[in-house]
Amino acid sequence: MTLQLTVPNMSCSVCASTITKALQAVDADASIQADPTTKLVSVETQASETVIKEALAAAGYPAG
């Protein structure tokens, strides 16, 4: 399943890296692309959308 999420407070490559690590913690096989310019996170994952959003919020980057 592919998710496209907007993360309003992602502003730099360090934010993108933090988000990537947080999502890989819940799905090690996930394919993640985080773009601070557009504030979009694309996730190809087997985890549910709820689990992904909870991981983002726990990392301090709630999806908008």
Task: Provide the whole-model pTM.
Answer: 0.94
Q: Which domain does 13 fall in, by range?
A: 2-58
63: in domain: no
54: in domain: yes
40: in domain: yes
Compute the distance between CA of residue 57 and CA of residue 37 in angstroms, rounded to an integer. 20
How many domains would you assign to the chain? 1
- CATH code at position 50: 3.30.70.100
Q: What does the pLDDT look like over 43-52, one tens digit per residue? A: 999 999 999 9
Q: Please say whether the beta carbons of 8 and 25 come within 8 A.
A: no
7: in domain: yes
Q: What does the pLDDT look like over 4-53, one tens digit per residue? A: 999 999 999 999 999 999 999 999 999 999 999 999 999 999 999 999 99
33: in domain: yes
Compute the distance between CA of residue 20 and CA of residue 34 in angstroms, rounded to an integer. 7
